[in-house]
């Protein structure tokens, strides 16, 4: 039975966006209430506005009704950071989905863009193709429909070494003041008028001139320091991580503690490149290559991705359908496929059937021919560690000379080859198919698997002993360890598939102690969500943005109560 005030709030929301765009039934809200890998909870309603003005009006109604607001873009996060968590909130939760708010406005001759809340990385990549330019991230998250704003709010990305994590100091957002009043802050650097209604309507309808766009040197639209930071390979601190105060600025790193309406971002020139594939049985080989690339090359690589052999194998078998789907249909179709699968899973779970779609997909892909290039599979048989490097054309000869000379002296431990275009594309696609493979393994082996412990860590830049060795008693509780990541900046994703009966949270907390001992920072790029504890700098950032604790409450194990009460 709904409380009378709650029913009144729902009716008001329906007046703003229309009845069909206010979801209250558990089955209809399931897609929004559950994280892709972690977290779920209850909501009063999921509201899906059609334009920025509706988003503002929904926000105003929710704040006036003293509701908690959770802003959700594509819901592709891995730590439950854009979904509710549990049922111990002190106020009703209204989740605002920005899926209908797609919009990309190209400014400054394609050198910058303004992205509305529903803009995806995939759509941005396609929009910029005509300018021969790219966004800060071009694959990986874009495969599953990740939003541009979600990346900025979570300091995500970093696979492309020259661009670093998503970051901007130019944003249009709303916050709740200490007095509980909603205010719109226009730091977009675009003159759009005075009132929220005028600003949001003019932006939505692209009603501004190039003369309205300010280009100040005081506010940047991408990370200006990352290339310098990542090259300091002798520093005993990580290159980047979510709680780094130097990369927390208003919307950047806000993790939903404000309501963002638009961000302004730099774009990047497309660069012709080639891909090297390196295999080795010694981590020292990969360390030597990393130090050369970051210290001695005139231009640092475009990307450098690591895959351990176990992750290679699990990805090849359990990420195969993702790989084949993207090959056949492209990244644009992936979000719809995920949504359709979620609907089927939700229907089956009503009858107590879990994991059936995953098992069917797994059987189907089992009978497909091997999808990975022959030379990659040969290297899989020979070598434990795999490194995929994308190098700018003009630096290919120098890298090839170095690798040839290095492996002439270390031929007993490793080797390399220069990929053709097809091999290079498939090598990187395989690396990103690995990222979801542990989930598929869990969902098809529920009788053996308790869950996944997924860590997202930044190691020290000078760390030569980067491959972990777990204590025997922990190792015995794990079925598979998947190590992969962004090798040049020493950001690793470590997925542990743990045995039935093992407490995954207890295991994770044990892992944190080991990481603390190694001087690592975590999380590195997926943000705290409801998994990790927000470190002091991050918590202070959240409290400054959201003094009444009205947005996305409880993230980073912080207070769920109004005004941050304990």
Q: Tokens 């270390």 belong to which residue?
A: 410
Is the four-CA dihedral 311, 312, 318, 320 of positive or negative sign? positive
223 close to 164: Cβ distance less than 8 angstroms? yes
- Bridge partners (DSSP) of residue 23 are 46
Task: State the average pLDDT for the chain.
Answer: 92
**Average pLDDT of 556-560?**
96
pLDDT at 367: 75
472 close to 511: Cβ distance less than 8 angstroms? no
Rounded Cα distance, 463 and 290, in Å: 11
The contacts of residue 128 (CB under 8 Å, 6+ apart) are 106, 110, 113, 134, 135, 267
Query: Would you give the DSSP letter of residue 533?
Result: P
Q: Which stretch of 30-34, 96-100, 101-105, 136-140 has the lowest confidence by average pLDDT?
A: 136-140
Rounded Cα distance, 159 and 491, in Å: 9
Instruction: Write down the pTM of the prediction.
Output: 0.91
**Average pLDDT of 204-228?**
94
- Supply the angle between the helices 356-366 and 437-444 in degrees, to the nearest 10: 110
Q: What's the pLDDT band for 142 if we cut at 50, 70, 90?
A: very low
Q: What's the pLDDT band for 432 if we cut at 50, 70, 90?
A: confident
Residue 247 has pLDDT above 60, yes or no: yes
Residue 256 has pLDDT above 80, yes or no: yes
Q: Tokens 């003293």 belong to which residue?
A: 66
**Average pLDDT of 499-509?**
95
Burial class (CB in 10 A: 0-12, 13-18, 19+), 352: exposed
pLDDT at 339: 62
Whether the ω angle into residue 523 lies within 30 degrees of 0, i.e. cis, is yes
Residue 35 has pLDDT above 90, yes or no: no
Rounded Cα distance, 254 and 152, in Å: 8
**Average pLDDT of 466-477?**
96
- Supply the angle between the helices 356-366 and 334-349 in degrees, to the nearest 10: 130
Burial class (CB in 10 A: 0-12, 13-18, 19+), 228: exposed
The beta strands (E) that lie in 163-216 are given as: 171-176, 182-187
């Amino acid at each position: 039975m709904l409380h009378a005030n709650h029913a009144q709030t729902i009716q008001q929301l329906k007046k703003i966006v229309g009845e069909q765009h206010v979801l209250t039934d558990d089955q209809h809200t399931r897609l929004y209430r559950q994280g892709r890998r972690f977290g779920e909870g209850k909501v009063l309603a999921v509201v899906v506005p059609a334009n920025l003005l509706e988003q503002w009006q929904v926000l105003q109604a929710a704040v006036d009704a003293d509701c908690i607001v959770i802003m959700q873009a594509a819901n592709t996060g891995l730590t439950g950071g854009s979904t509710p968590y549990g049922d111990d909130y002190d106020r009703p939760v209204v989740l605002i989905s920005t899926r209908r708010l797609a919009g990309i406005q190209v400014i400054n001759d394609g050198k910058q863009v303004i992205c509305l809340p529903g803009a995806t990385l995939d759509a941005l990549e396609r929009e910029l193709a005509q300018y021969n330019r790219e966004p800060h991230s071009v694959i990986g998250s874009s495969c599953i429909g990740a939003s541009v704003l979600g990346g900025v709010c979570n300091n995500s990305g970093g696979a492309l070494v020259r661009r670093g994590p998503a970051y901007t100091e130019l944003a249009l957002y709303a916050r709740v003041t200490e007095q509980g009043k909603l205010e719109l802050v226009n730091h977009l650097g675009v003159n759009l008028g005075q009132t929220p209604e005028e600003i949001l309507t003019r932006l939505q309808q692209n009603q501004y001139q190039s003369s309205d766009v300010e280009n100040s040197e005081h506010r940047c639209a991408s990370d200006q320091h990352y290339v310098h930071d990542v090259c300091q390979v002798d520093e005993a601190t990580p290159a980047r991580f979510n709680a780094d105060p130097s990369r927390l600025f208003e919307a950047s790193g806000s993790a939903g503690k404000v309501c963002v309406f638009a961000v302004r971002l730099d774009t990047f020139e497309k660069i012709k490149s080639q891909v090297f594939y390196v295999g080795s049985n010694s981590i020292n080989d990969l360390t030597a290559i990393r130090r050369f690339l970051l210290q001695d090359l005139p231009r640092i690589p475009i990307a450098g991705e690591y895959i351990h052999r176990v992750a290679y194998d699990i990805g090849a078998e359990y990420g195969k359908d993702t790989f084949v789907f993207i090959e056949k249909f492209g990244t644009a179709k992936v979000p719809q496929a995920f949504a359709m699968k979620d609907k089927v899973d939700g229907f089956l779970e009503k009858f107590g059937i879990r994991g059936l779609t995953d098992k069917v997909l797994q059987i189907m892909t089992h009978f497909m021919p091997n999808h990975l290039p022959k030379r990659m599979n040969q290297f899989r048989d020979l070598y434990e560690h795999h490194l995929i490097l994308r190098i700018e054309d003009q630096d290919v000869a120098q890298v090839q000379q170095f690798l040839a000379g290095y492996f002439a002296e270390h031929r007993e431990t490793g080797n390399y080859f220069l990929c053709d275009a097809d091999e290079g594309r498939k090598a990187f696609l395989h690396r990103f198919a690995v990222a979801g493979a542990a989930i598929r393994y869990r969902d098809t082996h529920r009788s053996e698997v308790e869950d996944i412990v997924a860590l997202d860590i930044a190691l020290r830049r000078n760390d030569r002993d980067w491959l972990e060795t777990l204590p025997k008693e922990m190792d015995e509780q794990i079925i598979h360890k998947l190590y992969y990541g962004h090798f040049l900046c020493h950001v690793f994703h470590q997925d542990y598939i743990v045995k039935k009966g093992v407490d995954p949270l207890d295991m994770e907390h044990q892992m944190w102690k080991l990481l603390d001992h190694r001087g690592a920072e975590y999380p590195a790029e997926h943000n705290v969500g409801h998994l990790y504890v927000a470190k002091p700098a991050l918590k202070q950032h959240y409290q400054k943005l959201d003094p009444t604790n009205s947005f996305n409450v409880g993230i980073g194990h912080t207070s769920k109560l109004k005004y941050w009460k304990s």
